[in-house]
Amino acid sequence: MTERIDRIVRTWIAAEQEQEVQEVASEISEGKATLLDLVKSLGEYLTAEEDDLRTKGVEFLSLVLAKCPPEKLNRQSVRVLTTFYCGKLEDTETIIPALKGLATLTKLPAFTSSDALEVIKAIFAHVKMKVLVQSQRFTVFTIIDNLVARHREALKGMGDDFLRGYINLAEGEKDPRNLLLAFAIDRVLLIEFDVQKYIEDFFNITFCYFPITFRPPPNDPYGITADDLKNALRACLHATPAFGPLAIPLFLEKLTAGSPVTKKDTLDTLDVCLPVYGPVVAREHARKLWNCLKLEIFQPTDSITEEKALKTTQVLIQTIYSATEAERSDSAEIEGLAKDACEECMQILREPEKSQAQHAIKVLCAFMSTTPSVARFTLARAVPHLVALFHNPDELPNRAPTLRLLADLIGAARKSTADDPEVLPEEGNVPLSPYKDEVLGVLTVGLKTPASALPAIDGLKSMARTIGLLTDEELGFVVHNVNELLQKDEEESEISDAALDLLSTISAFAPAHVSGNTLPLLFASLPDRAPPREAEAERIRYWRTLAYLKKLCTQPDLFETLVVRLSTKLDLLCVPAASTDDQSSNETDLEPAAAYAHSILKTLADVLSAKIDLGHADVVKYIDRLVPRLYNLFIYSALLAEDTPMVATDPRLLAVTAQIITLVTQTLSAGHQETFVKAVFAAFLDGNVSQLAEGIQKMPADKKFAPLQSGAAAPQKNLVVLFAAAVIALHKEVLLPVPDETELLHRLLQWTVTDSENPLQREAVVHMIAAILNRHADKLETFLSTNVANFWQAQLSDKNVSTESRRHAILTFTWLTKALLVRGHPAAMANVDRLCELFDDENVSWDAARAVGRIPGPDKILTKKNHAVIKILYAQKYCNTMLPRIIEGAKTSQSTRQNAYLVALAALIKSVPKSTYVHQMPSLMPLLLRGLDLPDNEIRASVIDTLQAAATSSGKDNTLLAEHASSLVLTMLKNSMVSQMPSVRVRVAALRYLATLPGVVRYDVLHPQKATVIRELAKVLDDPKRAVRKEAVEARTNWFKFSG
């Protein structure tokens, strides 16, 4: 075995290959050889007279050692190797490989404290850092780091010798990688060693790097950032209080004369250092620090530095006063910096309208989050002053700025308390409580004047949110005053928005005041009957009231009141109690009542949507409290509409009601949905409405509800929208209450062909079919293989069917395909192939092409919220399959088919995320340019939008755009002219694209087009549409400024 090791050693000495190192390490780890065998084989090299051979011998030993498992090195081996390597440190030729060996040894379990002392003494004696390169110095720091981590007590025992030796080694280091390690060692030594004698030396070897100005080189292999170094250095600078007297003057110097970056770094460092340096040092330098800080606060160069200076001021005050906080009584006078700074700010606050007052209040606000005694002192000085200023007749014009300052201070006082509503503050510990009556009085007076209303509302909001400050009675007083403000505010302004926000805040923890005082006022202002067409002011008033209610009533108690009151209004509107002259005159014109009812329903839908987003659990109960009333009203109206016009038959009302039903259904559990859907099916399939509909209107006994029956009246048929609304949000576990789902879907599919009269009915039923198919496709194989195939043959492939009917059938087929695609069903792509067969049919080729492109697009029916079965990345998979087919078809097909593929391409890229097609842009660009010649404006706009998205995501050096620049410019100019392009949307899109080009294409490429573009765009400045003129100005400006 020794011979094998000898041979490997000789080979490595000659060739220095990694393979030989690995071989020897493997032999040792497998027990086939020992370290002793290796040392014997290396013997002649380790002691050779020739420097090169000697260095190689030690190097090979160190390399093998690094790869050996620790358990193969026993105590004796480690001891011998340590002595050997320490000896080699004396030899200038072998010092580098010896350091590598020691770096490995110092990590081993068998390496002891006595070895550590031997190594560190040898390093101090023989290693001269200034003659070593960066990687070698790094090895030295690694050894010391290992020793400090594992043998700290032994090093402490060396006393001054170790600290002196380390300081000499670390001095003058400049490499970032080494500094990270050095700073880590420095921090441990400063915290755990007795460094009192060497504080100045440690100060010199650490503070000389402050502030860090390092900028990492490009492609830095080590990935060290300036922040890494800053954080490591900062950890050293606040490692010991002893640095305080030396460090503060240096920080002051940097704050006075440093660059903005240096100032920010200094402020961040002061934040962590001051608490460590302690109150004595902080007090000693307080005035000088404050003078520097207030310069950054009162004359800020930028907002970030100002914020950091305020934070440092907070830290300074906390450091000075926290230590004595426990000893200070509530009535004790504050002395020192806090008092002086507070007095300075108070002087400035005598002129609240001046800009400096804003900065002064920020300082006082910062004081609120320092210590309780400083906060009390600040409030005791500032609040009475601002209240007196507000009441001063001479300062009447300055009431608004005074209230703004007061509101900021109240806000800061609130933030200084605990935010946990479960934790009540101790008696007398609530900020502002001694002054709340005066402040409340001032703020309520401020509400009366528009100029001061906003700051007054902000102040009241902060008071309301301060736990334990206002009593229930006082909250009622605030609500009463805000109600008066809302009643006076005729315009829906910023003030009313803020007032509603305040009421919403109060309603979260004290809803009784809002429901008892505010809501009755708002409901009283809603008319029971719709204002006539010409009464625009009244219409605006109810819009505003409903907007207020929408913002206020998300809280469960308030929403319950909203539902009851608005449902009652809806009943009064849609089914008037008795006919009067006024009523009968309006019977022929149902539009005002329909518009009012729509606004009411939209308010309910919007609040429900907001509640679901907030995760409110009370939405579920409205399946019993709201949904039955809505079904009752609309079914009743549809039955009566055969004899008399009814407001609730308006399709727009049905659409919003459907949204409400779907939103509530979304929140139900599968079991609850199953109960609900039984009642829905009983009503719509069997005519039994008693389980579903419940309300004040009684169903006429002589009328039958059968919306899906052949020959049903249009108002009844329209109610399939409310049937679909209940079905599209069902969980997949919900079983439909029908004996055969295939038969149900077949019936619905046939109904879309034979009985549906308008898009509203058709789309509702198609959405319902898609939702059922998406959930239960695995149980509907017969429907997919037979019924869908028959539907295709009868309605789509048969050219004798009218073009309009075939277009409707394509829409139905698109939804069937989409339902399957999103759940990853294989039948989806077979349906897409069928649609592609229609590309040759001139009558419906473009409709089929659009369908192929739109199938993977987002929609509002098959969504996660509606509990659809959705496979991840379905759109990307579809795009990866279809895009190459479409590109190929657009290149090679005949004219009709080719245009269809272009239409499909335009629709597809609009439907899927940009990331799915961006890699295909070189192939897509020529086709997209051809798409801009198609006579369909919608397609043109889609293509331009795609080009815009591709352009803005690419850099300046865009070779693809450069290649097509000339064609793009001419095409966009043509599409921006009103004489050649009637569509406003296309003109706007083309101009936006032209405005983008100078930012993404090099000047030398676009330069030949510049004069033409500027000349032609001058004509567009006379476009009849303002939106187009605006984009033309933007585009022309960009081209005008465009230069090399």
Give the closest residue to 101 by CA, choosing from 154, 35, 161, 148: 35
Residue-level pLDDT at 419:
55
Burial of 585 (0-12, 13-18, 19+ CB in 10 A): exposed
The answer for 114, left when phi > 0, alpha when psi is -120 to 50, beta otherwise, is alpha
Q: Which residue has the tokens 């060497």?
A: 198
pLDDT at residue 786 tops 70: yes
The predicted structure's pLDDT at residue 579: 42
Over 90: is that where the pLDDT of 20 sits? no
Residue type, 255: L
pLDDT in tens, 396-424: 889 999 999 999 999 999 888 765 555 45
Confidence class of residue 851 from pLDDT cuts 50, 70 and 90?
Answer: very high
Average pLDDT, the chain: 89
Using one digit for the tens of pLDDT, what is the confidence trace for 923-967? Answer: 888 888 888 888 888 888 988 988 888 787 665 546 778 888 888
**Is the per-residue pLDDT at 292 higher than 80?**
yes
Q: What is the pLDDT of residues 145-168, one digit of tens each?
A: 999 999 999 999 998 999 999 999
Q: Is 68 left (phi over 0), alpha (psi -120 to 50) or beta?
A: beta
Question: pLDDT grade, residue 582 (50/70/90)?
Answer: very low
- 1012-1025 pLDDT per residue, tens: 999 999 999 999 99
Overall average pLDDT of the 608-623 stretch: 95
How far is C-alpha 35 from the geometric centre of its chain's CA atoms?
58
pLDDT band at 767 (very low <50, low <70, confident <90, very high): very high
Cα-Cα-Cα-Cα dihedral sign, residues 61, 67, 71, 72: negative
Largest CA distance in the chain: 125
Q: Among 437, 500, 508, 432, which Cα is nearest to 468's?
A: 432
Indicate the range of 12-16, 387-391, 646-650, 744-748 predicted with least confidence: 12-16
Q: How far apart are the first and last CA of the chain?
A: 73
pLDDT tens-digit map of 344-388 = 999 999 999 999 999 999 999 999 988 888 998 999 999 999 999
More confident residue, 81 or 717: 717
- Torsion from C-alpha of 947, 951, 952, 956, nearest 10 degrees: -170
Model pLDDT for residues 500-531, shown as the tens digit of each residue = 999 999 998 889 999 999 999 999 999 989 99
Q: Are 153 and 162 in contact (CB under 8 A)?
A: no
pLDDT score of 953: 67
Output the DSSP codes for 561-601: HHHHHHHHHHHHHHS-SS--HHHHHHTT--HHHHHHHHHHH
Indicate if the pLDDT at residue 328 is higher than 70.
no
Helix residue ranges per DSSP H, 801-841: 803-821, 827-837
| CA 478 to chain centroid | 35
Distance CA 675, CA 677 (A): 6
Based on its alpha-carbon atoms, the radius of gyration of the chain, rounded to whole angstroms, reads: 40
Provide mean pLDDT across the span 102-129: 92
Measure the CA–CA gap between 622 and 609, rounded to whole angstroms. 13
Judge contact between 143 and 126, C-beta under 8 A.
no
Instruction: Write out the E strands in 23-159.
Output: none
Q: Is 778 exposed, middle or buried (0-12, 13-18, 19+ CB in 10 A)?
A: exposed
Residue 419 one-letter amino acid: D
Please give the model's pTM, rounded to 2 decimal places.
0.78
Beta strands of 658-805 (E only): which ranges?
none
What pLDDT, on a 0 to 100 scale, did the predictor assign at position 631?
A: 96
SS3 457: helix
Higher pLDDT pick, 894 / 733 = 733
User: Is a pLDDT exceeding 80 seen at residue 219?
Assistant: no
Position 487 pLDDT exceeds 90:
no
Q: What percent of the chain has pLDDT over 70?
A: 95
Give the span between the Cα atoms of 476 and 513, in whole angstroms: 6
The whole-number average pLDDT for the span 273-300 is 93
Residue 480 to residues 438, 726, 911, Cα–Cα distance (Å): 18, 41, 51
Contact 228, 265 (CB under 8 A): no
The residue that leads in pLDDT, 399 or 23, is: 399
Helix (H) or strand (E) holding 464: helix 450-465
Whether residue 554 contacts residue 611, with contact meaning beta carbons closer than 8 Å, is answered with: yes
Judge whether residue 50 has pLDDT over 90: no
Q: What is the pLDDT of residues 470-481, one digit of tens each?
A: 899 999 999 999
For residue 580, what pLDDT band results from cuts at 50, 70 and 90?
A: very low
Report whether pLDDT(199) > 80: yes
Per-residue confidence band for 41, with pLDDT thresholds at 50, 70 and 90: confident
User: What integer pLDDT is reported at residue 585 of this predicted model?
Assistant: 43
Label residue 489 by pLDDT band (50, 70, 90): low
DSSP code per residue over 147-173: HHHH-HHHHHHHTHHHHHHHHHHHTT-
With 0-12 / 13-18 / 19 or more C-beta atoms within 10 angstroms meaning exposed / middle / buried, residue 568 is middle
Task: Please say if the pLDDT value at position 308 is more than 60.
Answer: yes
What token pair was written down for 241? 């209080």
The helix (run of H) or strand (run of E) holding residue 452 is helix 450-465
Q: Which of 275, 350, 276 is nearest to 311 (CA)?
A: 275
Binning pLDDT at 50, 70 and 90, where does residue 425 land? low
CA distances from 718 to 648, 684, 764 (A): 11, 12, 9
> pLDDT at position 394, please?
85
The single-letter DSSP state of residue 863 is S
Q: Give burial (CB, 10 Å; 0-12/13-18/19+) of 871.
A: exposed
Residue 2: predicted pLDDT: 64
C-alpha 217: how far from its chain's center?
31
| Res. 609: pLDDT tops 80 | yes
For residue 925, count other CB atoms closer than 10 A to its CB: 18
Picking from 577, 566, 723, 555, the residue whose alpha carbon sits closest to that of residue 638 is 723
**C-alpha separations of 360 from 306, 309, 353, 399, 406 in Å:** 12, 13, 12, 17, 12
pLDDT at 332 over 70: no
User: Which residues 6+ apart lie within 8 Å of 605 measured at CB?
Assistant: 656, 659, 660, 663
Q: Which pLDDT does position 310 carry in this prediction?
A: 95
CA distances from 419 to 119, 424, 425, 467, 711 (A): 56, 10, 10, 8, 64
Would the pLDDT of 331 be above 70?
no
Please tell me which residue, 595 or 422, carries the higher pLDDT value.
595
Please return the burial class of 773, using the count of CB atoms within 10 Å of its CB with bins 0-12, 13-18 and 19+. buried
pLDDT tens digits, 124-148: 999 999 888 888 999 999 999 999 9
Query: What per-residue confidence (pLDDT) applies to 477?
Result: 94
Q: What mean pLDDT is predicted for residues 454-475?
A: 92
pLDDT: which is higher, 934 or 721: 721
Classified as helix, coil or strand, 933 is coil
Position 58 pLDDT exceeds 90: no
pLDDT of residue 339 exceeding 60, the answer is: yes
- Range of lowest pLDDT (311-315, 395-399, 652-656, 917-921): 917-921
More confident residue, 53 or 874: 874
Residue 543 CA to residue 71 CA, distance in Å, equals 82
Residue bearing the bigger pLDDT, 334 or 626:
626
